[in-house]
Amino acid sequence: MFRWYAVNTYSGHENKVKHNLEHRVVSLGQERNVRQIVIPMEQISEIKDGQKIQVERRTMPGYVLVNMDLNDDSWGLVKGTPGITGFVGSQQKPVALSQPEVDRLLNRETAARPRTRAQFSIGESVKVVSGPLSDFTGEISEINEDASKLKVLVSIFGRETPVEVGFDQVKKV
């Protein structure tokens, strides 16, 4: 029965391990036992120089997911691949991942929207570039990464006033 298993690798070597494992599957004729090898990734929106860019990043550094029929041959194939330190679970009996875990790790959730990572820090000066307060300059007092919003203190009529703006509405000064 085909199940998903998490395999521990050297961190930063996930792509090399995936390539090595795919090569070993073909060269040892194990295509019937190993279906798929995946590095869990997610899309993140970053604001860089006022531009929104999409970046792919590993969700589980140091791990590769393998969809396989676990038997002695397939276990030895995976265990003997260079860069793999072992399966997640006990040494003798790897633990299969549940389907909800696999869906979450492979970003198969419905209505999954890309997360945005802030390129800002508290106390930094920014200029509002869009919205009703465009051309105002202020200092960041709060960062809300979940909502992709900043609280910026701008000077209106000589008073510091907190204003909430989106990451894409400001640029660094």
Q: What residues does 66 pair with on adjacent strands? A: 5, 37
Identify any residues that bridge with 84 across adjacent strands, giving them in sequence order.
9
- Residue 37 binned pLDDT confidence (cut-offs 50, 70, 90): very high
Question: Is residue 87 within 8 Å of 70, Cβ to Cβ?
Answer: no
Those residues with Cβ within 8 angstroms of residue 150's Cβ, 6 or more apart along the chain or in another chain: 118, 120, 126, 140, 142, 143, 144, 164, 165, 166, 167, 170
Sign of CA dihedral 29, 34, 36, 38: negative
Strands 115-117 and 41-48: parallel
Domains of the chain in start order, with CATH, are 2-115 (3.30.70.940), 119-172 (2.30.30.30)
Q: What is the pLDDT of residues 14-24, one digit of tens each?
A: 999 999 999 99
pTM exceeds 0.95, yes or no: no
